[in-house]
């Protein structure tokens, strides 16, 4: 019977009512119906009922709350919607009383380490006809109304409001006590109209009721009298009940529209992929020159020469226009609903429901709006956001409004519970068939954390735009509508703007305006939280946010730990915080007569030639590039990419790539100098390979001893080339990491591309390992190249145990041949020689490397 009680509790019933109903009615659904009809309203709740444990509730014990905190403050401010850390590790250090005075929210933490299993009943949709609407409209069922991962007693709040306004708990009595009731219908408050505005107009028509007996005017949602002279335009802000149902239904409409658009896009993508595969199969079948080695399975090969392949870019403008159309539908709906958010800064002053919001308002914002926020802010392209600024401006306005209200602002640092898996379950009883969904929710980044990730990109983009000198952002003086118009038409569409230069300046202005608006939202949210929660609260929140270090001095020493797992965790923590930094790459005291600085960089001459250049098109491209690189550089225990950008010349870049696992480059440190030239991004970046042992070693057919990097994206190798305004430096770096620093580098030479696993290929890889140990490990650790000294030392310190094991394995696998500056000389030599011999110096290099590792 406990399972049946639990199901009823999940539907919103109390445990006492659930047990009483099941005692009388054996069928769960019949018991639920009787509970919702009010038959068991007289059953008293059991002690501590609101804290009863279930699969979808979070217990809040009295001992978990702050000592001395008033119940009303905790419930109103944080309610059951936060976790309190009662452990010694997360508790208040030192004098708890003193800590509470400085930070009354010291027990609140922002951990994402939470997982909840929720069982939801899947009800059949119900449709009805309503006057003035051609098609039937859907009725919002209780299951959909209460869907999502709950916190604490949220289900009770939702069930009570739904039961009251849908008529399950009876009619709305006249507040004068005359005994008259006005019956509520399910469709009064829960009909899902095609648009939000007709729904609101329907509510406006019915919200004011007049008693037929005593002529008293009262609110149909809460049953209380209207104050004398109540303004008709403000009727929908009369009570928290109205606000709760308007936000709940409105956000359900947004969620449904968002999901429909997502499903349509996925269906279209699947159809296009299938069509493309069919075209490819047909082309292969009709191409007499095509062949495959070893039957139908394609043989392993290097990157070789892929031919003059070109990417099909048709349809991009059409897809972008379609995306903007979808965005506008969501933006308009969000703008219409935002009016009903609790907002004490409302023009004309706050209204009743602004001061007394219903608990379900926070519930629906957290369950529905937060999920949409999560989807939109996980977009890793700042340029795409800027192009879709209409929707994102509205999203930012929502976040600012939510953060400015004391009852809602806790949403900002709270982890978003996302649906990570779903299982449909069908249960058959004698009376009916019950469809349920078992959903697993898991904690993920909070709205403020997601916003911080994008804000870091925006700050990097603004730094890249400095040289283009865009006009000052007027957004702080404009309304939201004016801001959007500024982005849509920053220069009034004058005739002069038809030329390319004008359009690029416009693009710089749009990107700058959007980035400043984004950063401004973070500042505004933090300001609101500081005023409502205190400085200590905001400080602790910032400690949990992602960071982008601006100098090596900001780095924190990370311990390797005693186990391999601890070492991997420490490495990831360090790498994520160190992958992108600004630094000073200039050579001090070497200014020329024209006061042009010199740089510790291969392309120093090219850099100096563009010292005073102002190329808006290039600045916009660099700004977008930096935005991508700031938070998207891949880091992992197996292989990572680290970037250092000059703090005043963001076109001057140095890159360090650690060799991938499973390759002869594993854990080696490979340095590249990068310069974004005058024609960037119409032309690819300039890239030079610097780990060459003084120009002696050729580590790969695509990495020459003189530093040349052969890659189709750079125009130095055959294959798909650079696509202006679409290709990125990140693509170049990942291509080097994955395609050049590969498992069998021998295959990268076109003439050898089919010789996988041959003695020649194995000899080539063995020679690469010898070069890597000597140059990319030992020399890199002895004389680390600037500015990667600390990165290289930390890389080897945290991986010392793993590197020692790797070196032992490499020594056993070595073929004993001499170390050649170019392994290509082994191409025509087969067999093995003196396996395990140390005559080639590998043993000595490994011993020296191990000694340095121990010193670390």
Q: Which residues are catalytic?
A: 710
3-state SS of 476-515 is: HHCCHHHHHHHHHCCCCCCHHHHCHHHHHHHHHHHHHHHH
The DSSP code sequence of 717-765 is SSSS---TTT--HHHHHHHIIIIIS-S-GGGGSGGGTT-TT-HHHHHHH
- How far apart, in Å, are the Cα atoms of 303 and each of 662, 709, 765? 17, 13, 16
Q: How far is Cα 147 from Cα 251, in angstroms, rounded to an integer? A: 12
Q: Are 158 and 165 in contact (CB under 8 A)?
A: no
Residue 855: partners with Cβ closer than 8 Å, 6 or more residues away? none
**Token digits for 548?**
């982008």
Q: How far is Cα 470 from Cα 506, in angstroms, rounded to an integer? A: 9
Task: Assign 135 to helix, strand or coil.
Answer: coil
Q: How far is Cα 520 from Cα 537, in angstroms, rounded to an integer? A: 20
Strands 433-444, 580-583: parallel, antiparallel or unpaired by DSSP? unpaired
Q: How far is Cα 30 from Cα 125, in angstroms, rounded to an integer? A: 19
Q: How far is Cα 641 from Cα 578, in angstroms, rounded to an integer? A: 10
**Token digits for 291?**
């062949």
Query: Tokens 């080639």 label which residue?
Result: 840
Determine how many CB atoms are found less than 10 A away from the CB of residue 544: 17
Closest CA to 583 of 607, 600, 602, 604: 600
Run of H or E residues at 63: none
Residue 727: partners with Cβ closer than 8 Å, 6 or more residues away? 681, 684, 713
Q: How far is Cα 713 from Cα 730, in angstroms, rounded to an integer? A: 11
Classify residue 152 as left (phi > 0), alpha (psi -120 to 50) or beta. left
**Token digits for 411?**
């949403």
- How far apart, in Å, are the Cα atoms of 262 and each of 267, 274, 359, 391? 9, 18, 30, 15
Task: Report which DSSP code applies to 341.
Answer: S
Task: Assign 220 to helix, strand or coil.
Answer: coil
Query: Tokens 């390979």 label which residue?
Result: 689
- How far apart, in Å, are the Cα atoms of 640 and each of 574, 637, 666? 11, 7, 11
Q: How far is Cα 323 from Cα 319, in angstroms, rounded to an integer? A: 6
The DSSP code sequence of 445-468 is --HHHHHHHHHHHHHHHHHHHGGG
Q: Are 695 and 602 in contact (CB under 8 A)?
A: no
Determine how many CB atoms are found less than 10 A away from the CB of residue 642: 23
Q: Are 40 and 20 in contact (CB under 8 A)?
A: yes
Q: Which residues pair with 217 in a beta bridge?
A: 210
Determine how many CB atoms are found less than 10 A away from the CB of residue 426: 9
Q: Are 414 and 58 in contact (CB under 8 A)?
A: no
The half-sphere exposure of 363 on its side-chain side, counting CA atoms within 13 A, is: 29
Task: Assign 100 to helix, strand or coil.
Answer: helix
Strands 172-173, 137-139: parallel, antiparallel or unpaired by DSSP? unpaired
């Amino acid at each position: 019977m406990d399972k049946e009680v639990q199901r009823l509790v999940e539907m919103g019933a109390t445990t006492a009512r659930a047990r009483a109903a099941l005692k009388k009615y054996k069928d769960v659904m019949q018991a639920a119906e009787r509970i919702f009809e009010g038959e068991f309203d007289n059953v008293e709740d059991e002690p501590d009922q609101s804290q009863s444990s279930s699969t979808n509730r979070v217990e809040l014990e009295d001992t978990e709350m702050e000592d001395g905190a008033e119940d009303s403050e905790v419930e109103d401010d944080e309610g059951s919607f936060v976790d309190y850390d009662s452990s010694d590790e997360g508790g208040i250090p030192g004098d708890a009383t003193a800590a509470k005075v400085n930070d009354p929210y010291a027990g609140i933490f922002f951990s994402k380490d939470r997982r909840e299993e929720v069982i939801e009943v899947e009800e059949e949709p119900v449709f009805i006809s309503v006057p003035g609407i051609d098609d039937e409209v859907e009725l919002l069922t209780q299951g959909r109304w209460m869907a999502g991962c709950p916190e604490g007693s949220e289900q009770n709040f939702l069930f009570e409001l739904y039961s009251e306004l849908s008529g399950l708990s009876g009619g709305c009595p006249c507040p004068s006590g005359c005994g008259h009731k006005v019956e509520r219908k399910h469709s009064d408050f829960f009909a899902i109209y095609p648009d939000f505005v007709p729904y609101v107009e329907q509510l406006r028509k019915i919200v004011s009721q007049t008693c037929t007996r005593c002529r008293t005017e009262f609110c149909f949602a809460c049953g209380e009298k209207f104050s004398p002279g109540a303004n008709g335009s403000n009727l929908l802000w009369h009570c928290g009940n109205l606000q709760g149902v308007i936000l709940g239904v409105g956000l359900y409409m947004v969620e449904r529209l968002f999901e429909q658009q997502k499903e349509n896009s996925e269906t279209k993508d699947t159809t296009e992929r299938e069509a493309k595969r069919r075209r490819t199969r047909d082309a292969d079948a009709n191409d007499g020159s095509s062949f495959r080695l070893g039957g139908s399975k394609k043989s392993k090969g290097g990157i070789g020469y892929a031919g003059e392949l070109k990417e099909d870019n048709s349809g991009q403008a059409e897809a972008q226009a379609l995306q903007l159309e979808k965005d506008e539908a969501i933006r308009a709906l969000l703008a219409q609903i935002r009016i009903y958010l609790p907002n004490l800064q409302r023009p004309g002053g706050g209204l009743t429901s602004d001061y007394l919001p219903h608990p379900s308002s926070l519930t629906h914002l957290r369950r529905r709006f937060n999920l949409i926020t999560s989807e939109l802010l996980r977009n890793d392209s700042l340029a795409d956001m800027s192009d879709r600024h209409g929707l994102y401006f509205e999203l930012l306005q929502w976040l600012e409004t939510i953060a400015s209200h004391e009852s809602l602002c806790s949403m900002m640092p709270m982890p978003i519970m996302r649906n990570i898996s779903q299982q449909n379950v069908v249960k058959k009883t004698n009376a009916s068939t019950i469809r349920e969904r078992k959903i697993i929710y898991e904690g993920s980044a909070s709205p403020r954390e997601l916003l911080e990730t994008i804000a870091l990109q925006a700050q990097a983009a603004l730094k890249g735009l400095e040289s283009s000198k865009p006009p000052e952002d007027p957004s702080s003086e404009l309304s939201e509508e004016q801001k959007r118009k500024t982005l849509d038409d920053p220069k009034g569409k004058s005739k002069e703007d038809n030329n390319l230069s004008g359009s690029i300046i416009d693009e710089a202005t749009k990107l700058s305006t959007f980035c400043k608006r984004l950063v401004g939202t973070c500042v505004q949210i933090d300001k609101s939280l500081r005023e409502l929660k205190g400085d200590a609260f905001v400080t602790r929140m910032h400690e949990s946010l992602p960071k982008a270090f601006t100098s090596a001095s900001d780095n924190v020493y990370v311990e390797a730990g005693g186990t391999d797992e601890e070492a991997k965790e420490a490495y990831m923590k360090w790498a994520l915080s160190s992958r992108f930094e600004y630094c000073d790459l200039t050579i001090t005291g070497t200014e020329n007569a024209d006061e042009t600085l010199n740089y510790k960089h291969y392309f120093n001459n090219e850099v100096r030639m563009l010292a005073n250049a102002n190329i808006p098109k290039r600045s916009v491209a660099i700004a977008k590039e930096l935005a991508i690189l700031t938070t998207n550089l891949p880091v992992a225990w197996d292989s990572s990419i680290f970037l250092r950008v000059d703090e005043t010349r963001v076109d001057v870049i140095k890159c360090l790539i650690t060799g991938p696992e499973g390759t002869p480059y594993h854990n080696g440190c490979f340095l590249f100098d990068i310069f974004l030239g005058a024609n960037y991004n119409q032309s690819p970046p300039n890239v030079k390979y610097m780990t060459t042992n003084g120009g002696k070693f050729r580590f790969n057919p695509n990495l020459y001893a003189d530093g040349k990097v052969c890659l189709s994206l750079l125009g130095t190798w055959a294959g798909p080339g650079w696509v202006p305004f679409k290709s990125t430096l990140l693509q170049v770096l990942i291509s080097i990491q994955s395609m050049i620093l590969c498992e069998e580098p021998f295959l990268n030479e076109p003439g050898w591309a089919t010789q996988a696993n041959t003695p020649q290929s194995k000899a080539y890889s063995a020679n690469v390992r010898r070069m890597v140990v000597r140059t990319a490990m030992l020399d890199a650790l002895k004389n680390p190249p600037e500015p990667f000294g600390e990165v290289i030392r930390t890389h080897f310190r945290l991986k010392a145990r793993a590197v020692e094991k790797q070196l032992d394995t490499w020594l056993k696998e070595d073929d004993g041949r001499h170390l050649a500056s170019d392994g290509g000389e082994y191409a025509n030599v087969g067999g093995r020689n003196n396996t395990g011999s140390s005559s080639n110096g590998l043993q000595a290099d490994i011993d020296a490397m191990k000694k340095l590792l121990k010193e670390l």
